[in-house]
Amino acid sequence: MAVAFVLTPLVRCYSRWRGLIDKPGARRSHSAPVARGGGLAITISLVATTGAWAPAGPQVLPFLLGAMIVSLLGWWDDHRPVRVGWRLAVQVFVAAGLVAWLGPVESIHVAGKAFALEWIWSPLAVVALVWLMNLFNFMDGSDGLASAQGVISCGLFAVAFALQSESVSFVLAAIPAAATAGFLFWNWPRASIFLGDSGSLLLGWCVGALALFGTLSGSVSIWLAFVIVSPFVVDATMTLGWRLIRGERWYTPHTEHAYQYLIRMGWSHLSVLLAWIALNAVLVMPVTALVLWKPQFDLGAAAGLTVILAGAWYVVHFVIAKERVTT
């Protein structure tokens, strides 16, 4: 946390010097120019601290290598836009590499029954990793939102691993949570620097890798992993689905996420962030605690939470927004 806190303003100075500035626009939610690329501070902190403090474990090296690759990919994109095909190719490469290094994913438990379909679960694990990297990138559009979700999600993974005495995975979850918290001080509304792709892709990688660690060890089910990051997964997935239904390009910038609707309706970035934190505190954290206490309820808890979050997404998009337009 301390390293990221100290490095972030230095990275901000570099970003300003290189002209890495996000300017206001029709597809952006901020009203003043803000430096981007602050995720580099999280990456440096994560790599340095993990190298110094993490206990030995088979997941440490691939976790760090993947973190550096995806963050450098984002850092390059922060400087000069990278074509979507190349971005996806690198993401698939690192995701497949992690699954191949630590896997395969042999079985998944559904309602207490194990389904051993390695040829399905391993490719789906790669898809999930790629999707998590991109959805954090999609959701990084309001001050502090993605970084706060990163702190909460990695923190909850750390708690889950600690309760299962998974010391290596615990450290690999606690370090990005702390590093992101150090960055969040500068990203808190009104933000003086944004994550940029170097940070959003990194946070998606961390969350996806932690979910894979838990799945392979049996300490965190895929349903609990979903619960931990569900606010981002549900919003990004439903928004993407809605855009595809309307024939729009899913990878182009837009302002159709639930939080973007709220900002257009007059909510401040601080109000949106506090509401998002409250959503995690009122729904995600209690459901996570329930599943940790009663693992047999993981699928039902995940399904119930999905219905609630999807309902909230629908209300924001088609009820509140419609009433505002009518008014």
pLDDT of residue 324 exceeding 70, the answer is: no
Query: Judging by DSSP bridges, how do beta strands 108-110 and 34-35 pair with one another?
Result: unpaired
3-state secondary structure the chain: CHHHHHHHHHHHHHHHHHCCEECCCCCCCCCCCEECCCHHHHHHHHHHHHHHHCCCCCCHHHHHHHHHHHHHHHHHHHHCCCCHHHHHHHHHHHHHHHHHHHCCCCCEEECCEEECCHHHHHHHHHHHHHHHHHHHHHHCCCCCHHHHHHHHHHHHHHHHHHHCCCHHHHHHHHHHHHHHHHHHHHHCCCCCECCHHHHHHHHHHHHHHHHHHHHHHCCCCHHHHHHHHHHHHHHHHHHHHHHHHCCCCCCCCCCCCHHHHHHHCCCCHHHHHHHHHHHHHHHHHHHHHHHHHCHHHHHHHHHHHHHHHHHHHHHHHHHHHHHHHHC
Instruction: Tell which residue, 41, 289, 29, has the closest CA to residue 186.
Output: 41
The whole-angstrom separation of Cα 8 and Cα 238 is: 33
CA–CA separation, 189 and 169 (whole Å): 31
Measured between its terminal Cα atoms, the distance across the chain in Å is: 46
How far is the C-alpha of 292 from the C-alpha of 311, rounded, in Å? 25
Q: What is the pLDDT of residues 177-221, one digit of tens each?
A: 999 999 999 999 999 999 999 999 999 999 999 999 999 999 999
- Which residues make Cβ contacts (< 8 Å) with residue 244, sequence separation at least 6? 250
- Say what the pTM is: 0.93
Query: Closest Cα to residue 227, out of 140, 309, 317, 142?
Result: 309
Which stretch of 10-19, 93-102, 227-236, 262-271 has the lowest confidence by average pLDDT?
262-271
Q: What is the pLDDT of residue 96?
A: 97
The answer to whether the CB of 106 falls within 8 A of the CB of 116 is yes
Question: Amino acid identity, residue 17?
Answer: W
**Is residue 194 a contact partner of residue 16, using CB atoms and an 8 Å limit?**
no
pLDDT tens-digit map of 210-237: 999 999 999 999 999 999 999 999 999 9
Work out the pLDDT band at 279, boundaries 50, 70, 90. very high
